[in-house]
Amino acid sequence: MIDFLLIATVLLVSGVISVPLATKLGLGSVLGYLIAGIAISPVLAILHVDVVSLQHFAEFGVVMMLFLVGLELEPRKLWSMRDKLLGLGGLQVITTASIVMAIAMALGQPWSIALAIGLVFALSSTAIVLQTLNEKRLLNSDGGQSAFSVLLFQDIAVIPMLAFIPLLALPELVAQAGTMASSDNGPHSINLVEGLAGWQVAIVTVFSVATVLFVGTYLTRPLFRFIALAGLREMFTAAALMMVIGIALLMSLVGLSPALGTFLAGVVLANSEYRHELEADINPFKGLLLGLFFITVGASINFDLLFSNLGAIVAMTTGLMLIKALVLCVLALVFKLQGFDRWLLAIGLAQAGEFGFVLLSFTVANHVIPAELASQLMLVVALSMLLTPICFIALEKVFSARMAKKSREADAIDERNDIIIVGNGRVGGLVRRILTAAGYKTTVIDYSASQLEMLRRFGIKAYFGDGRSPELLHAAGIDKAKVLVVAIDDKESITELVRHISQHHPHVYIVARAIDRFHVYDLWAAGCRDIIRETYDSSLRMGRSVFEALGYSLENAQELVDQFDARDRKAMVEMASLYKPDVPVQENKAFVDKVKELTDESYIDLIGKGINKNR
């Protein structure tokens, strides 16, 4: 018990210290976890911790992550991704595997070993890439969505790889393993397909996948309705974990990827009314286990083996990342990705992936790759994963924020309207529709090429470009415009644009989207006086609905909400006047005192106003 607590303490302390520091320095959480693993590897060695076994446990974080990815993908959305999923993803895996195989054969490896190495190195790290793209808010960009499609195909491709790799077994390794096995009486893992003929394995595999689909489609709803009878929140969490672990176990028993099984279950449940419940229950476990997995990757680096083969391993790692980046760059051109999006795809997926550890262990167990070579290849996988966050940082340094928005040359704007809308997502798009319905013409600018292409298919005119660019704004007629609607979804970009317009075009009335409460203060300081908090109005309507559910009439419920709204808007102006953008709020005494004063006051005095349910 003490050993377990000691190891857990070491892991948690390393993560708690290194990740905030790495994030503060702009390195990202993934690199923080990897550095933590490297830092504590000597401690784990002293404690005689089996890092490989710990990594197998931590890989369950990847399983949970793919389950959550599946929950976000409705089958209809998955079908809409088929071109990039099969085209871009399929070509990347086939091309990369072929090139790596050819190089390995040129270096003297047998074709079977070379092919196995090619398949292993064709995969990229779903865990690191998705985590990094989410943190940097790049997942919804064209490059981010293309990377997601490739990763999705790679994860699905693991299944045929697991089925195919045993066919590459080398007779001499099989004979050597047979000699060793005769003296090995250790425990063996359970495998339901061991010893079965190929057609029997196929039947078991199909039946297992069908079981996952059947459970997700027909048994989940009755199960959660039954659990709801207990009225205990922890039972939902237990049921969610039971489902994910059970599916992973079933897949493992039949020799399939547990991650793929949970991904399929997630896709099936994407339309379920329990989707958000499952996400909320699984997400904390996923985050912790993914962090632990990254720590074990850093801790698993065998520095003795690395330094004894430093030249060869560094050359293999560098060569692999260059090959994958080149292949992805060419494919990005074929699929019409340009500028920052092309490099985001190429550099973001240039590493080997976490499934590389699984497949390399699998190749050794099935006598395909010698254990000594597999150990060196695992170092290549680990080092490439370690370098990936650094590559993302370098990419951001090379491409400025403005270049990141300019994936291609900005469109020429051939109209002048009184209203300019920058950003045509879920906020800007709705504003445009409201104004168009009232008969007003708008000039719409957005930086998502795919979004604009979709709009044009519906006959909606919009222009590609960075809405913060003074040149583009001038071309859009900002000098004569009356209103600018700022509806992009990046906090810093919104503030930067508002500040520029306030200083250089004070005649323009600005309506700006605020991401949160403190963003309101930033925008007020930048000169904007019409600031719309993106969730504020919907929250007021929800509050009114709660009052009605408690028995208030619609009029009284609305009056209560209006009172709160009036007080809150007045308070926001008072707080904004005290806010100092360059001073942390906790160090701004006047601001802190005002917050305390407003907190002590009652926003709505129900008795004083004479409002009650029955009036």
Give pTM, 2 decimals.
Answer: 0.59
Question: How far is Cα of residue 543 from the mean position of the Cα atoms in its chain?
Answer: 32
Beta bridge partners of 442: 419
* DSSP-derived secondary structure for 497-513: HHHHHHHH-TTSEEEEE
Check residue 27 and give its pLDDT: 67
Domains of the chain, by residue range, sit at 2-173+192-399, 407-534, 542-615
Check residue 433 and give its pLDDT: 87
Element (H, E) at 140: none
Distance CA 449, CA 472 (A): 16
Count Cβ atoms within 10 A of the Cβ of residue 357 and give its class: 0-12 exposed, 13-18 middle, 19 or more buried: buried
- Eight-state DSSP code of residue 369: S
Distance CA 129, CA 124 (A): 8
R_g (Cα) of the chain, nearest Å: 28
- Residue 28: half-sphere exposure toward Cβ, Cα within 13 Å: 24
Choices 3.40.50.2000, 3.40.30.10, 3.40.50.300, 3.40.50.720: CATH for 407-534: 3.40.50.720
Check residue 11 and give its pLDDT: 83
Check residue 105 and give its pLDDT: 93
CATH fold, domain 2-173+192-399, is Na+/H+ antiporter like fold (1.20.1530)
* DSSP-derived secondary structure for 226-284: HHHTT--HHHHHHHHHHHHHHHHHHHHHTT--HHHHHHHHHHHGGGSTTHHHHHHHHHH
Contact status, residue 544 vs residue 565, Cβ threshold 8 Å: no
Check residue 491 and give its pLDDT: 81
* Largest CA-CA distance found in the chain, in angstroms, rounded: 90
Q: Cα dist. 534→495, 537, 584, 595 in Å?
A: 15, 8, 23, 22
Give the closest residue to 247 by CA, choosing from 228, 219, 221.
Answer: 219
Check residue 404 and give its pLDDT: 45
Q: What is the mean pLDDT of each run of 10 residues along the chain (615 residues)?
A: 78 84 74 83 81 73 76 68 83 93 92 92 86 78 86 82 78 60 49 69 79 81 79 77 83 75 77 72 78 80 84 92 93 85 89 81 80 87 86 78 50 83 85 89 81 73 81 86 88 87 90 86 87 86 92 90 87 83 75 75 49 55
Tokens of 74: 């409705």
Give the closest residue to 213 by CA, choosing from 252, 249, 263.
Answer: 263
Strands 509-514 and 442-446, sheet pairing: unpaired
Question: 388 by DSSP, 3-state: which?
Answer: helix
